[in-house]
A and B are shown apart, each in its own frame.
Chain A
């Protein structure tokens, strides 16, 4: 694994989306880091040029959404190769992926789909994480997904599964606090107990985002389309108490707001982290 830089703990970052490129380039707002979906920059595009330009002034985190580490098939080596090339060009401060699958039988479904948490799927997922870390030459952070269904033959809770993945593979964990909140509401578990089940030292990043209530069923949908909800900020405070200040990202993908709103959310995350840093050291 390559030695690399780090982001100051608790630094607020934002998801970088094309409509905000020009404004960020012109105003250079103070931010801990920028994060992009790796798959959007794997071709020789103008967007890649713009990202590399911003990379001169910002740390960049590459967030993969399509490696499909949970697929029962082999990993897509050509996709891994494109990911590695991108890592070589961007030299990201963090590289992350998901506890999910998204492609099977040659079809990419553009979603983070759940799989049953069993001893067998644990072995498979760990092999895939190890293979990806080896191929990419980087330690991965694995993110907990938001979930809307559970399988009959799942035999262990998600937090336990994720903890075991980190223990066996040496990967870190990207703790998505909004996803924990959404899944906890959808399945009726205690989100604080989920946080308490995660190991402290391996949390490398926190994600925060908005969600909404589905119209026709009693389900929360993680849509990255609004400000972070109050109960998610509260849960984030609990995460900071447990994990200490961790680089925290505001994700916003649908109904993209003015950059100022995104920066305001990132500032709020930073302030919360500062409060906890003060409390920790007092």
Chain B
């Protein structure tokens, strides 16, 4: 049997120790790491607790900063509980905290204790989109004449790259109205039966802006944002509205400074 070198033994010990501290910091069993540390006049578990408290306090605050309306809708104590469970199961992968919380909405959707609020996950998606719009810088838009160089018979195969701050969201709930109502001190009631929303969220001037789109425009722009070619986006839009005017729709995209690049798709699949 091969003996492992002293180095690899020690490194695996260090790895084991770090996995033990990770488990304890994320709210799991702390017995193993507690046995490895000095009391120095205190209960060693209290020392580990300082690191656990810091992780939950700072990562919880990061989530609360990104999802303030969710926090308001469920109230602070419940939010702290949800955040705690989310952190345990989904600690950050990225070391840039601005990227933490991208899957929080999905977590909420499956979170049994909050199922009484069926719109919660979609409001979280809206807040995430607002967060992206607020933080991501806009790229210089293409002028409308940029498409002039595309031969007419190729135009159907153009794919666009849109502003990085853009998001498209659809929900069966009036999530924008719910969000808006929760910006006030006194929350006025929102009629949940008033129907859903198809939303476009983007950076605008020095803040964020969103608006509701009709079904055809939403289908068109979502398809383009997903990288589909113009012909495919048009097909989707026409299903919603047979009178959909694709020329005007493209002009609007440019006029609203949403297009930052385009390419001719080599695959030409519709």
Taking A72-B11, A110-B92 as contacts, is the C-beta distance between A148 and B22 under 8 angstroms? no
- Which one of A107, A120, A124 lies within 8 Å of B22 (CB-CB)? A107
Contact B47 A79 (CB under 8 A): no
Taking A115-B18, A120-B10 as contacts, is the C-beta distance between A46 and B95 under 8 angstroms? no
Contact A149 B47 (CB under 8 A): yes
Taking A39-B96, A109-B25, A148-B50 as contacts, is the C-beta distance between A115 and B135 under 8 angstroms? no
Residues of A that sit less than 8 Å from B by CB: 39-40, 42-49, 66-68, 71-73, 76, 79, 82, 101-111, 113, 115-116, 118, 120-121, 123-124, 148-153, 186-188, 214, 216-219, 221
B51 at the interface (CB under 8 A from A): yes
Contact A150 B37 (CB under 8 A): yes
Roughly how many angstroms separate A153 CA and B48 CA in the complex, as a whole number? 17
Please give, as numbers and ranges, the residues of chain A lying within 8 Å of B44 by CB-CB distance. 149
Contact B91 A45 (CB under 8 A): no
B14 at the interface (CB under 8 A from A): yes
- Which one of B42, B94, B164 lies within 8 Å of A219 (CB-CB)? B42
Contact B92 A108 (CB under 8 A): yes
Contact B14 A121 (CB under 8 A): yes
The secondary structure that dominates the B interface is helix
Question: How many residues of B sit at the interface, in one of the four size bands?
Answer: 35 or more
Top 4 nearest A-B pairs by Cβ distance? A66-B95, A72-B15, A120-B10, A107-B91
Quick one: CB contact mask for B34-55 with A, threshold 8 Å, 1 for yes?
0011101110101110110011
Contact B10 A149 (CB under 8 A): no
Q: List 12 A-B contacts (CB under 8 A).
A: A45-B98, A67-B95, A105-B22, A107-B22, A109-B22, A110-B62, A124-B14, A149-B37, A149-B44, A151-B36, A214-B50, A216-B46
Quick one: CB contact mask for B200-211 with A, threshold 8 Å, 1 for yes?
000100000000
- Which one of B7, B15, B48 lies within 8 Å of A73 (CB-CB)? B15
Residues of B that sit less than 8 Å from A by CB: 6-7, 10-12, 14-15, 17-19, 21-22, 25-26, 36-38, 40-42, 44, 46-48, 50-51, 54-55, 58-59, 62, 91-99, 134-137, 164, 203
Contact A187 B40 (CB under 8 A): yes
Please give, as numbers and ranges, the residues of chain B lying within 8 Å of A113 by CB-CB distance. 18, 21, 25, 51
Taking A113-B25, A115-B17, A118-B10 as contacts, is the C-beta distance between A46 and B136 under 8 angstroms? yes
Nearest neighbor of B58 in chain A, beta-carbon distance: A110
Please give, as numbers and ranges, the residues of chain A lying within 8 Å of B46 by CB-CB distance. 216-217, 219
Taking A107-B93, A113-B51 as contacts, is the C-beta distance between A43 and B15 under 8 angstroms? no
Contact A148 B47 (CB under 8 A): yes
Taking A109-B25, A214-B50 as contacts, is the C-beta distance between A120 and B42 under 8 angstroms? no
Roughly how many angstroms separate A39 CA and B95 CA in the complex, as a whole number? 7
- Which one of B11, B25, B40, B96 lies within 8 Å of A43 (CB-CB)? B96
Please give, as numbers and ranges, the residues of chain A lying within 8 Å of B137 by CB-CB distance. 44-46, 48-49
Please give, as numbers and ranges, the residues of chain A lying within 8 Å of B135 by CB-CB distance. 43, 45-47
Please give, as numbers and ranges, the residues of chain A lying within 8 Å of B7 by CB-CB distance. 120, 123
Contact B136 A219 (CB under 8 A): no
Taking A45-B137, A120-B7 as contacts, is the C-beta distance between A110 and B55 under 8 angstroms? yes
Contact B37 A217 (CB under 8 A): no
Please give, as numbers and ranges, the residues of chain B lying within 8 Å of A107 by CB-CB distance. 22, 26, 91-93
Nearest neighbor of B9 in chain A, beta-carbon distance: A120
Please give, as numbers and ranges, the residues of chain A lying within 8 Å of B136 by CB-CB distance. 43-46
Contact B18 A71 (CB under 8 A): yes
Contact B59 A110 (CB under 8 A): yes
| B36, B38, B96 interface centre (most CB from chain A within 10 Å) | B96
Contact B14 A44 (CB under 8 A): no
Contact A108 B91 (CB under 8 A): yes
Please give, as numbers and ranges, the residues of chain B lying within 8 Å of A73 by CB-CB distance. 15
Please give, as numbers and ranges, the residues of chain A lying within 8 Å of B55 by CB-CB distance. 109-111
Please give, as numbers and ranges, the residues of chain B lying within 8 Å of A110 by CB-CB distance. 55, 58-59, 62, 92, 97
Q: List 19 additional A-B contacts (Cβ < 8 Å) besides A43-B135, A149-B37.
A: A42-B96, A45-B135, A45-B137, A66-B95, A67-B95, A104-B22, A108-B93, A109-B55, A110-B55, A110-B58, A111-B54, A113-B21, A113-B25, A113-B51, A148-B50, A149-B38, A151-B37, A217-B42, A218-B42
